[in-house]
Structure 1
């Protein structure tokens, strides 16, 4: 694999880094936002949820627009939205302004979570597509960790212009730096060669393929993609649900949605409170940063697994690990056995289990299982389902926690994780090493 392919994939994945940064940075800013704007709990919830709400339309329309205008152009628009959201959040003069800019940031996150996997899957050689597709998840967890580090450095910096009244401004505005870098680097990457073929721009596509493959291979790639899609027009939304594509679209939608039902976000949301109760392993801030480190380490480990073991084996293994960890947490809460290192170990194993299985496979799989003709639109639908499920989990978790208690809540998520083994075993088909143009033959056999 050429270094050129790795570099352009890394640039596309930077949208994921901003995705991770923007979704995690708000956690550190809340304690300073609340007194500054005198927010009640409902308003705090809206500030936090605004990004997730913005993700829904961002994800839903990004693929369709990318099919029409190109992957690169839409990623550039995404980078500009990131810059606007970061600057606007940092200078927001009112609660309403802050929510609006958080919504804009959410639209950018939703678009990035759709566009980067599509672009990477379309420039990656089949043998390395899994590892390159994982760059999206690696970037996300890196962004989460960077947000933890950035918040810590800002609060502990000894500069006269920093105070409790403006810590949150610098925390939220810090995303401007990677956003500008993302914008500049996007100007240097090529358009997706498969999209160029779709638009009958064959000479341009051959040039891009020439930078990814050898000259002989690039000619062959153009012919393969041309035979697959050049004669087909971009589908209308209703065409995506025709009998030819309906099965794989539903599989992708359900798969992306249930990835949120693993409960990964509730573990991150609830981890600080658990850490406060354990009184082991150092400060809450230190332990929270450790979750980011564990997340990153196991995402890196997955680089050596995804194209060796395949997607399906990783998903089944991850569901068993996460299910057992959820049942363990439920038991620890039920028995009130929280003041021991076993709680920390269970949380870290759970995060590691998610990071090297569902966390990485999600973004690879939803971008590679759809035929070329519908990839943009169908990936948007799948990622849209992921963000809707994210919002539902975020909304129902505190309600379940208050009405049912932690033991029952974690027990329910344990059942869900184990049940996901059945879905993966029956409906997820292996795509390891399969050219994108051959994917359609696989799902028709499911």
Structure 2
């Protein structure tokens, strides 16, 4: 019923939202006589703020059309490599007519970026993808909004998530493949590779795990505490709802995006209030650059998706309440998950010093579990001054984290180094790669 009430309220608010958008335009457009009236800038700013608070936020585009490779602008095309009911595997294909560049790019390592299915769209990792592209072939998991998946496709569980990752790895091939998981997917990615290793299947050259709850018992955050303080039935009763009839997934049980968004905002209400007030002030002052930065951030932050109910409840129970992975008690489709079975795959873990979602030690715990990985093939990085988002997006990701990720991948690549890469200080230094045989 709550979902239906939300949709009804959204429909009622739509005329006011459109009216506010129109007012914002006519009171700010240079060729409008209304923009010359006293107080027009405040009227326009107030209406745009009202419009942005009430509007619907659709899934943003990645918008990556070109990257610089060896000082050349190389076109990039976003392609669907494999499509499943609940996820699309995207590839960012680079094109060039320069013969030497073609040869180098073909030898670049392949990176599968596993985006989180935890509220936001995979475009939240746009900066991650854009930074990787000049020196890597890049794929990313693009999870589908559950309200858009017809009910006849069945449920989607945490076990299904693990199976999807296994299928994507087999589809791409493990020859010089490096899997990077960001936040929530560190757990199912580690499970997928563990199961593949235990069966004797080829596994990726390396795993890069960033800010994820491998062992949430380490330095629990407010997010972890909520999951342990409430019983599973509380989550099923209070946050699981049915998709209304106006969506393809009508009748499907989900954790709605609008409730997730409310939770995101409630974690730091003062910061969001201040951000919106600053946006209003920037519009009044005519500071268009800062106003545009606010729009870009909240266009992404406010775009949320519905999560399948079974997957969400499985994650709460398996990962955050029963800690099955670190306890060695997790069975996926009847197979025990044993990270100790992983051999020949290097492991890098990354945590943010100021991460308030996955506390320090939660991701690093993967090293305790992966006892079959040689010490020389392990690396841990704590990004100084970085919060949760800073380890995969923004200046700290680009300047502090990515250079070490790049070197780690290069050191465990199957291909010899022929490309040169820019270091933190802008100087060009050779990439050193170690043959894995």
Q: Under a length normalisation based on structure 1, what TM-score does the superposition of the two structures give?
A: 0.24
Q: Which has the larger radius of gyration?
A: 2
Higher relative contact order (CA 8 A, sep 6+): 1
Q: Under a length normalisation based on structure 2, what TM-score does the superposition of the two structures give?
A: 0.24
Judging by fraction of residues, say which structure has more helix.
Answer: 1
Judging by fraction of residues, say which structure has more strand.
Answer: 2
